[in-house]
A and B are shown apart, each in its own frame.
Chain A
Amino acid sequence: MAELSYRDAVAYGIAQEMRRDPNLVMLGEDIAAAGGVFKTTVGLLDEFGPRRIRDTPISEQAILGAAMGAAMTGIPVIAEIMFSDFLAVCFDIVANEMAKSRYMTGGQMTVPVVVRTANGGGSRFGAQHSQSVENWCMMIPGLKVVAPSNSRDVVGLMAASIRDPDPVVFFEHKSLLATKGEVPEGEIVDELGKATVVREGTDCTIVALALMVPRALAAAERLAGEGISAEVIDLRTLVPLDTQTVLASVAKTNRLYTVEENPRLCGWGAEVASIVGDEAFWDLDGPLVRITTPHIPLPAAEALEDMAIPSVDRIHETITKTLD
């Protein structure tokens, strides 16, 4: 197939699964007639009709409640929360209800819901429409957390998330929507919990997620010109977490860098660093280094936002300064 934008890959991936499973439905604000405020659901209403693709009021609790209730009674559901920041207004249902219902009921309930949401910065939207909140969900037992970095993975991980019987929060990065990538012909179904080594190297390991993956790759390219061979891992899913791919890489390169868009405290890299510190301590030749957004609300001004989120320059500079 020709190249597909990340934006179009979202609708493409959903359509692949809706054709497969006639029970699968989707709901959210402006997703049907408008095709989504980010145009990630364009064409789905036309193909699948208003019974399966439904617009809702601005009622995030009602949206996720409906998704959960339908899912636990036999209808798999994709729910869209327009901006991931808005998870805060329905986090009771995310964190206390859908995440816990199976465990709390001794396994009586199954909740096959995918919560899709637009995540991340770079759009100059300010502190309430730009956050990277994947760590909010990562810390809740009972949720799976997915954040693809490219068009192909959007399709493969969307299928995996929809077919997974547990609740999945699927983060679509706003600043990747316009990027294009090759999407192979035919059905694509990935497995959750598999990271990808997107560039091989021997001197250090850079672990990244979503928008940070292309930035880490660009930094690695620049480092290569300076004689430093960096291996780049796209984590792809935070829960399940593919620690084996990370540990195997660190065993080879002996250094770990995480590149995280989330603010510093309790970002996913802290967990990755902790695991590597625990389990690969004797493989390490130097400190574990986390490159993150500082612990501040995201500013709106272009210049400030660009300073806050890890850039290619900052990744490159941090590694050259700290790698012996």
Chain B
Amino acid sequence: MSTEAFEPELMDYSRRQPRLPEPVIEGNDALDIPLDERMEMYRLQQELRQFEKRAYDLFMQNLVKGTSHLSLGMEAVATGFGRALRPDDYSFATYRGHAHTLARGAPMGPVMAELLGRSNGILGGKGGSMHLASVEHGMMGSYAIIGAHLCIANGAGWSAQLRGTEQVAVVFFGDGTTNIGAFHEALNFAKIWELPVVFVCENNLYMEYTPIDLVTAVEHPAADRATAYGLEPILVDGNDADAVYDVAQGVIETARRGEGPSLVEAVTYRHGGHSRADPGKYRPPGEVEAWLDRDPIITYHQRLLRLGVPEGDLTRIAQDVARRVDEATEFAKAGPVPDEGDLMTDMWADGGSAWRN
């Protein structure tokens, strides 16, 4: 970084040049993806979008406490990978994990109830927004301190390799994670052991409140590091579910065949701030608007219309999802608050938490 960056006016990131999205690639209409699958991906993106919007509304109503990190605007990544995975594959996410949890099939009601801290939450209220998991769906957890979970995903891949199950572990992380040591340890380790792990960087251009390019030695925080670990640099439009799905199928198959790990950088954008507390004012004028025009769901909707899907079919999907999100909300609100009997359980595998006799 040049010393100019320390000039006070340049430290106001909202005065930088906006980073604008690439245009939609209409050619991706021709990707070899069956229409049925595309309809499922449309439905899933609607679920993720409407769930996150509802989560935001419930925050505003003070029904969700603590913090929350929404994936609004980033749904295509979770969708493309989620749909490409086998049911017994493993997913690992960061604190921004609602979408990745739902994308594996975890039911919306218990996930919503977890955000509300209810005992019918998917973790009984003990994990909350930043620690969502659903082992039965292969969603092996949301890890709220970035980095470690790349190493842990390696372990799931190693286990699959040892058991000979051809399962694959996919681990999602943000652009900020590429600057922590565990990222580098994990990639090197995965490569030398040829582990069936797919590392997916969701590059939304900001590490929390700071533009990623100001704190990273290379332009593409993940892809430009790939060759250092013997991997191919893979960049994908993270706002196009078809493009993501296409890349995901390839790298997941590579891992499943025993040909080792991959590192994918999906370029996307979060519509909101880093977390509930962040209005995102560090973003230059015009930038958010330009990315809203590249909204993955709007553009996917347009693609499906181009492919001949009647508008009414898409409307029905959106309405059906809205009804299910309402049901999930009611399920969550109706859930009891955890009681004292829940506090001391499940620290140990015996179900308890005794540390002395």
Could you list which residues of chain A lie within 8 angstroms of chain B, going by C-beta atoms?
A: 23, 25, 51, 54, 56-57, 59, 61-62, 64-75, 77, 92-93, 96-97, 101-110, 141-142, 164-166, 193, 239-244, 275
Contacts and interface: CB of A to CB of B under 8 A. Distances in A.
Interface stretch (B28-36, B185-193, B322-330): B185-193
Interface of B: 90, 121-127, 131, 133-135, 140-141, 143, 145, 147-160, 162-163, 169, 181-182, 185-186, 188-189, 192-193, 345-349, 351, 353-357
B141 A142 contact: no
A242 B357 contact: yes
Contacts, number: 164
Given A61-B181, A62-B189, A108-B133, A69 B126 contact: no
A65 B127 contact: no
A108 B155 CA distance: 17
Contacts of B353: 103, 141
Contact of A65 (B133, B182, B188, B345): B182
A106 B338 CA distance: 12
Contact of A102 (B134, B152, B188, B346): B346
B348 A166 contact: yes
A53 to B, nearest CB: 13
A67 B148 CA distance: 12
14 contacts: A57-B192, A62-B186, A62-B188, A69-B155, A70-B155, A73-B140, A75-B158, A77-B155, A92-B147, A92-B182, A103-B126, A141-B347, A141-B353, A240-B355
Contacts of A93: 148, 151-152
Given A72-B155, A104-B123, A106-B127, A97 B349 contact: no
A78 B307 CA distance: 54
A108 to B, nearest CB: 4
A67 B356 contact: no
B116 to A, nearest CB: 15
Nearest to B150: A65
A109 B148 CA distance: 16
A246 B231 CA distance: 57
B347 A102 contact: yes
B140 A142 contact: no
A96 B145 contact: yes
Nearest to A99: B347
Highest count of chain B CB atoms <10 Å: which of A70, A72, A241: A70
A92 to B, nearest CB: 5
Contacts of A73: 90, 140, 155-156, 159-160
A106 B157 CA distance: 24
A202 B270 CA distance: 70
A110 B140 contact: no
A102 B162 contact: no
A239 B157 CA distance: 31
B345 to A, nearest CB: 7
B156 A105 contact: no
A56 B154 CA distance: 13
Nearest to A52: B162
